[in-house]
Structure 1
Amino acid sequence: MNKFPEKSIEFLEKYVDTCVEGFFPFELRGDPFFDLIDPWLKDFDVSAPRSEQVIKNSMMRDVLLNPAFDSLHELPEYQRLVQKMNRFIE
């Protein structure tokens, strides 16, 4: 990250966009491999093991606030991404 801050910001931006635009509403469901789980989930009315707010806070803490990105904290682009995630979390 110290050698390629622009690339780090680029990937963090993709992460933030995915969190903000493509993750919620979160829904438990099967996939091509677990194709028989959908009826079971509907029968038991199962929800995510963590609340949406806890998941959002984890998205922020586990990536953007990770000490690995400390060298980026002063960059305006990084600060913009943190602000975008903060608005999303609120």
Structure 2
Amino acid sequence: GHGHFEVNGARVDIASYLLKAGDVVTICEKSRGSEKIKAVVEANSARPVPQWIDVNRDALSAKVIALPNRDQIDAPVEEQLIVEFYSK
């Protein structure tokens, strides 16, 4: 990460930061004027939001309501391949 985000008011610059239920993610104040950030927000404005995330588009924030169940994750994931990879 490049420090464009805050989690619960604290700047986060770790791309692999692990969120938990109740966490609020916001775009840092200084990054809100960035043309790149504005373009990303605009490009994703019509994207569907999973049930387990509450998005506030006006505040440029999102709250993790709960961690998703496996059936709530739309990404095609083959868990067995992951297990095999890390078992080597």
Q: TM-score range by the shorter chain?
A: under 0.3
How high is the TM-score relative to the length of structure 2?
0.25
Structure with greater proportional helix content: 1
Larger Rg: 1
Higher relative contact order (CA 8 A, sep 6+): 1
Structure with greater proportional strand content: 2
